[in-house]
Structure 1
Amino acid sequence: MSSTSCEEEAIKRQTSDASSFATNQRTTNKCGKESKEQKKVKKMNIFIEILFLIRDIFVAFVESWWRFFIPPNSKSVKGEIVLITGSANGIGRALAVEFAKLGSIVVLWDIDGKQNQITADMIKEVGGVAYTYYCDVSQRKQIYEVGARVKKDVGDVTILVNNAGVVIGSGFMNCPDDEVLNSFNVNVLSYFWTVKYFLPKMIENNHGHIVNMSSSLGLTGLNKLTDYCSTKFAVNGFHEVLTYELKHDKHNGVKTTLICPQCVDTDLFKGCRIRYPSLCPFMDVDYVVQKSIKAILTDQYIICLPRLVYFQAAIKSILPTDCWIEICTFLGTMTFMDSFIGNKKKCKC
């Protein structure tokens, strides 16, 4: 190859390299401009989303206040299959009778067969239909086994009321390990297993209601109730996140209600006393049940009884811990459990 040909080839390569560099540079500049434009678009989209968020918050706030002053119409539960745990006495029994009056088919779960049958007889007296089952809700396998029997005998549960509960009633260091485990099995884990078993059919039909019985002690703790308060705080968290999941997955036909009563006149906290009963009186079971039924029928997310509980929870979250402890000491809640004589093994919420 001649020297002239080599020079021409070298010039061609240089020209080609320069052209490629220029092309790449233009592409880079173009990409850079597009990236900036995309950033502007993203910022604009975020701004628009914030505007919509403000609108949605305002609408939700107005709707909430509207529901507060003008409750929505109650839904019908006639023909619904309602399963209630801890139905042998207290709130569970009263809820069962009320659902029966409304035309629901009631399924009763408890470990006290004799008292559970009395609940069934009370339902029959008001013209209702009841099915009784022995079920120790502290046992996961038993929940699933009895749940399968209910499906076969009665049908698919459409309203689940997790109500069973126990309390030890001693200071933390005096709580036996096996009773602590039992408290969590009954008061918390049983909620997981019952919901896990009955929820799939509710989701499939986009129809159902899960009611979780908690307590004001799941919002504000109480001295010498380490086991009970811990389980009720857990129930509140379980209920909250379960609701988020149902909302996020668009299962709008499956409703949830959390019930948080403060002091109810049942055997659960028998013998307990507070310094100023007029500020926090023990509520009658029928009153709590009527309010709870109303909340369920109107698909209310949470109900605290009395309304003072909402205020207490808000104040506790704002005040320093030492300030809250001083208030509790003044009100006598620190010594609330000192006179406790309740039956810690068999009581139901």
Structure 2
Amino acid sequence: MFQESRAFDQILGIILNFMFPIKMLLRTYSLSILMIDIVWVVVNAICAVLQASFELFRPPPLKSVRLETALVIGSGRGVGRDIAIQLANLGAIVICVDKNKRNNQETVDIIKKKGDSAVSYIYDITSKDNVENLAAQIKKDLGSVTMLFYCCGIPSPRSLLTQPPFDIHDTLDLTLTSYYWLIDQFMPTMKAKNHGHVVALTSVAGLSYIKDQMPLSVAQFAVQGLAESLMEDLRINKIDGVHVTLVHIYPFIVNDDTTDLRLRIPSYFGTITSSQAASSILESVRRNYPEASVPKHLLYLGHLLRILPRKATVLIRDLLDTGVDFA
């Protein structure tokens, strides 16, 4: 009995001695694969940084939007109107949608006077049924939408300063929920054809809390999440012909001629017209940038605020607080 037990121990020892090098080899192999993956990620990350740096001096070429069917929600005034006008001037077929019939028709008339193509639809897109009816009507009249610009929910300087916050449901419906419904209606066709562009416009409220505007800030942050989720969805499904551009608009920078603003650091911020803002947005869209801002240089400030410790970001926000006031 003792001899049998001893023989068994010897056999077991031989087996374990034989398996030990195999385990070591497997661990070594796994470690090698991990190291190769890490090196691959680091090298590609460095290449991406170098490419981004190169594109600062030599940006990608502008793509044509001629004969694209561009849906502009909120085209009755402000940046939305100027985006619609400039898209039409570039040769796009512009679908102007706004709940204000008079303002929207003025936009269409301006476009048609220049000999460009535009059509007006009057809908309140805060209703899901209205969004579905709008999508059905557009598909019947014009076919597929290839570009979607959602210009609702971007506040003006006056609204940020003087208007009380909207009801939370109204704010979310206008800024986020309606946008989701529109994407749900038009994105599947873009994916099927592997061609299209979705533009998400957010305000500074999506980068930093605006006093007394918590519902708006929450909704604007959510729009950013929606845009980034769309980008990931397209990447995972390997759809490279549909693009998403997230644009941060600083309302205090865009002068809508209704306020006389005094900024804390005028030389840094300055003001631009809604036409200039629309031109900047369309340039970023035509270069297929995933993220942009108006004005452009403030995009890097947004990136900086994301990576610094909170105490540091609070100090920077206090320093660059627009301190907007009516002169």
Please report the TM-score for the alignment, with normalisation by the length of structure 1.
Answer: 0.81
Q: Which residue of 1 aligns with 2:242?
A: 254
Q: Which residue of 1 aligns with 2:39?
A: 51
Please give the alpha-carbon distance, in whole angstroms, between the structure 1 residues aligned to 2:307 and 2:93.
44
Q: Which residue of 2 aligns with 1:82?
A: 70
Q: 1:289 aligns with which of 278, 287, 294?
A: 278
Relative contact order (C-alpha < 8 Å, sep 6+): which is higher? 1
Of residues 239-248 and 42-51 in structure 1, the stretch that sits farther from structure 2 once superposed is: 239-248
Structure 1 residue 302: deviation in Å? 1.2
| Code of the aligned partner of 2:254 | V
Structure 1 residue 45: deviation in Å? 0.7
Q: Which residue of 2 aligns with 1:188?
A: 176
Q: Which residue of 1 aligns with 2:48?
A: 60
Of residues 310-319 and 128-137 in structure 1, the stretch that sits farther from structure 2 once superposed is: 310-319
| Code of the aligned partner of 2:295 | P
Structure 1 residue 221: deviation in Å? 2.8
Please give the alpha-carbon distance, in whole angstroms, between the structure 2 residues aligned to 1:327 and 1:54.
30
Q: Does 1:221 align with 2:209?
A: yes
The answer for unaligned runs of 5 or more in structure 2 is: none
Q: 2:267 aligns with which of 278, 292, 304?
A: 278
Q: 1:302 aligns with which of 272, 279, 291?
A: 291
Q: 1:205 aligns with which of 186, 193, 200?
A: 193
Q: Which residue of 2 aligns with 1:139?
A: 127
CA RMSD between the two structures: 3.0
Please give the alpha-carbon distance, in whole angstroms, between the structure 2 residues aligned to 1:156 and 1:294.
23
8 A Cα contact 1:83 1:107, kept in partner: yes
Q: 1:266 aligns with which of 253, 256, 280?
A: 256
Structure 1 residue 31: deviation in Å? 5.2
Please give the alpha-carbon distance, in whole angstroms, between the structure 1 residues aligned to 2:140 and 2:17.
70
Q: Secondary structure at the match of 1:278?
A: helix
| Code of the aligned partner of 2:46 | F
The answer for unaligned runs of 5 or more in structure 1 is: 1-9, 341-349
Q: Which residue of 2 aligns with 1:110?
A: 98
Structure 1 residue 240: deviation in Å? 1.6
8 A Cα contact 2:165 2:212, kept in partner: no
Please give the alpha-carbon distance, in whole angstroms, between the structure 2 residues aligned to 1:26 and 1:197.
67
Please identify the structure whose Cα radius of gyration is greater.
1
Please give the alpha-carbon distance, in whole angstroms, between the structure 1 residues aligned to 2:199 and 2:165.
29
Q: 1:266 to 1:57 in 2, by over 3 A?
A: same
Q: Secondary structure at the match of 2:254?
A: coil
Please report the TM-score for the alignment, with normalisation by the length of structure 2.
Answer: 0.86
Of residues 26-35 and 41-50 in structure 1, the stretch that sits farther from structure 2 once superposed is: 26-35
Of residues 89-98 and 137-146 in structure 1, the stretch that sits farther from structure 2 once superposed is: 137-146
How many residues align? The count is: 322
Please give the alpha-carbon distance, in whole angstroms, between the structure 2 residues aligned to 1:319 and 1:51.
26
Q: Secondary structure at the match of 1:164?
A: coil
Please give the alpha-carbon distance, in whole angstroms, between the structure 2 residues aligned to 1:296 and 1:170.
30
